[in-house]
Structure 1
Amino acid sequence: MSPASPGPEGPAGGRVRMGVLGCADIALRRMLPVIAAADTAELVAVASRDAAKARGVADRFGCAGVQGYRTLLERDDIDAVYVPLPPALHFEQVAEALRAGKHVLCEKPLCTTHAEAAELMELARRHRRILAENFMFLHHSQHDRVRSLLDAGSVGELEVLTGSFGVPPLDPAGFRYAAPLGGGALLDVGVYPLRTAQMFLSGEPEVLAATLRVDDATGVDVAGTALLCAPDGVAAQLEFGFRHSYRSRYALWGRSGRISVERAYTPPEQLKPVVRVQQQDRLTELAMPADHQVRNALAAFTAAVLAGGDGPVGEAESLLQARLVDDVRKVARVFTD
């Protein structure tokens, strides 16, 4: 006999029964091992359009393998789904999951446009289900420490934020180089420094200028920059791309010093990242505790579900993120290679 479908009050038994829509690399490497090992989640099933792939992943993680996303969504032994599909597929599949009564943890970016993101948020409210955008880096404790240093006045009033996320060229056959699937550097790595600007700038920043460099062969942007300005005049200078040497960092430049984070976005869970505080005559290196941002992200999602949450989580932040992406596209000067 199958367990009853979850209600808005949250699943019974203290564990969220989860399914996964797709067998993407990020799911296999990062999320599936964490879900399978979590105390607050149970990995029930993995779905793929390819039955053999679904079975292979299911055997690896000790769950059911399902052919087809709709088949998984029709199961009544699943409370929530994780969606690691290419960005252009998020809107349709997240909408289907919400209509099927499932809570949703969706890999970033939630959607490729602000309009789609807003529609999904409204759908989550209507169906009284949790919808969360999975920005895992936000769940690393080093950023809370940076915020406390800034709030304590360790570098004075903030003047400029800089942020960079670049990676070497990726698999040319992957979705990141396919425009119809929502590929491109802006949606893949550019959203990280954009989200960083949201973390530390006050109010809603405006995109003043941007550049995008588009690969003529694929039609996707492979590099870019953006200049943002908060209502109080604090600026953010951002860089991103996937034809770069690896860089994953941001810095906060204040009137009396500078805070820099060198492993900002994808630190391994064993790493004790270093936060540097540079003042006029002093450099302080603070070793942060190792932290598991993937596990923390899942824990935050399952906590919201188990608490009986019945709507979007972080709606304002996700919608602002989507608007900033739209605005970068609108103002960008585009170069082709």
Structure 2
Amino acid sequence: MTVHASRKPVNVRTKSPPLRFGVLGCADIAWKRTLPALRRLSGVKLVAVASRDRAKAKRFCAEFGGVPVTGYAELLEMPEVDAVYVALPAALHHPWALRALEAGKHVMVEKPLATRLGQTRELVEQALDRGLWLTENFSFLHHPLHARVRSLLDGGAVGEPLVFASAFGIPPRSGDDIRYRADLGGGALLDVGTYPLRAAQAFLDAELDLLGSVLRIDRERQIDLGGSALLCSADGVSVELTFSFQSSYRSTYAMWGTEGRLTVERGFSLPGDMTARIRVERQGRAEEIAVPPCDQFAAAIRAFAGAVRDQEDFKAHSRDLLRQAELVEAISGRAHRVTVSPLAAADPRNSGG
């Protein structure tokens, strides 16, 4: 498996008709990152925003354009919508992505693509049958930082890889955050846990097998507040993953090899104006490599629109979607579960990211 950003970035051709987006849901991620990025791009156009609360849809459209729509089904009936961006709680990703595919729309879904492996299979089968493009929005993969990392690893920066380690943790949020609701697909594994796992697959070409996992379960909410997993590649590279809703902010990965160590301290949620940095240590010498700022959300939208426009091979991409879902389900299904005290209230001084 390769890092998407290692390809030459796909530019959306302005001379072609724009890819017309409809948005399902008024999530913070759409307001703060996705729609500002979409607004800045040529070759794509926001047509409509749907919410169960019309006032929310109107607020989004006043800021970013398009027409407000009350209810998700009505947006899917709009012939002027080519592609749908699903920014709903995790438990609603599968039903509405499925309905969008059935309506003939290409679909970009915030992670996780679905909460169960069987649901992911159903979505992939629908996309394949209908000749549509479907993707899980791991926007970090489209930042040139990770292509640079891949180039360094391929060039022998650490020698033969031995251990890949990655962690993503965030401080507690307010108690009513949807991430804490079991009925909406909450939990750390399906949220922050998916990033280190996807990164491991991007940098290790061999298939990964799960050796063991641990989940910490909130006694009251019955969601996992964090955990860890140990995996291994066929050629013996160990993969150590950690994720948490209870920690100070951390977003990192590292590759340790026979001749050195490569570390990225800000791997998954880089702001568009932040310079990324890679630290390479070899036999007592350390080098820091700067990678210019990039709006990874804009890059992800460009890649999605380019895949639709150029009719790229979805079958190859579908294997990545399925393997991610298989490993997430294995980590959850085989985990040693430890019941812990309920998540403490958010501390406003402990902000991250």
TM over 0.5: yes
Residue of structure 1 in register with 2:61 after alignment = 58
Number of residue-to-residue matches in the alignment: 328
Residue of structure 2 in register with 1:200 after alignment = 203
Asked if 1:75 corresponds to 2:63, the answer is no
Of the three residues 205, 210, 214, the one matched with 1:211 is 214
CA gap 1:117/1:12 in 2 versus in 1, 3 angstroms: farther
Residue of structure 1 in register with 2:157 after alignment = 154
Structure 1 residue runs of 5 or longer lacking an equivalent are: 1-9
Amino acid at match of 2:311: G
How do 1:241-320 and structure 2 match up within 5 A? 241-309=244-312, 311=314, 314-320=317-323
**Deviation at residue 131 of structure 1 after TM alignment:** 0.6
User: Aligned equivalents of 1:70 and 1:149: distance in 2?
Assistant: 46
Decide which moves more: 304-313 or 286-295: 304-313
SS in 1 for 2:189: helix
SS in 2 for 1:189: coil
TM-score, with normalisation over the residues of structure 2? 0.90
SS in 1 for 2:304: helix
Structure 2 residue runs of 5 or longer lacking an equivalent are: 1-12, 341-353
How do 1:1-337 and structure 2 match up within 5 A? 13-309=16-312, 311=314, 314-337=317-340
TM-score, with normalisation over the residues of structure 1? 0.94
Q: Deviations along 1:153-194, whole A, 9 cap, x unmatched?
A: 121000001000000002321211011111000000000110
Contact conserved, 1:162 with 1:237, CA < 8 A, in 2? yes
Contact conserved, 1:124 with 1:312, CA < 8 A, in 2? no
User: Aligned equivalents of 1:30 and 1:291: distance in 2?
Assistant: 13
User: Aligned equivalents of 2:67 and 2:143: distance in 1?
Assistant: 31
**Deviation at residue 312 of structure 1 after TM alignment:** 5.7
User: Aligned equivalents of 2:80 and 2:257: distance in 1?
Assistant: 52
**Deviation at residue 11 of structure 1 after TM alignment:** 12
SS in 1 for 2:191: helix
Residue of structure 2 in register with 1:3 after alignment = none
* Displaced runs of 4 or more, over 4 A: 309-313
CA gap 1:215/1:38 in 2 versus in 1, 3 angstroms: same
**Deviation at residue 38 of structure 1 after TM alignment:** 1.4
Contact conserved, 1:208 with 1:331, CA < 8 A, in 2? no
User: Aligned equivalents of 2:67 and 2:277: distance in 1?
Assistant: 41
**Deviation at residue 299 of structure 1 after TM alignment:** 0.2
**Deviation at residue 311 of structure 1 after TM alignment:** 4.3
Q: Deviations along 1:273-309, whole A, 9 cap, x unmatched?
A: 1100000031001111111111000000111112235
SS in 1 for 2:56: helix
Q: Deviations along 1:91-127, whole A, 9 cap, x unmatched?
A: 1000100111111111111111111111100101111
Decide which moves more: 310-319 or 18-27: 310-319
Contact conserved, 1:167 with 1:246, CA < 8 A, in 2? yes
Amino acid at match of 1:83: V
Amino acid at match of 1:315: S
Contact conserved, 1:164 with 1:238, CA < 8 A, in 2? yes
User: Aligned equivalents of 1:214 and 1:71: distance in 2?
Assistant: 38
**Deviation at residue 14 of structure 1 after TM alignment:** 2.9
User: Aligned equivalents of 1:309 and 1:45: distance in 2?
Assistant: 26
Contact conserved, 1:125 with 1:310, CA < 8 A, in 2? no
Decide which moves more: 27-36 or 93-102: 27-36
Please provide the CA RMSD for this pair: 1.6
Q: Deviations along 1:225-256, whole A, 9 cap, x unmatched?
A: 00011111110111101110011000000001
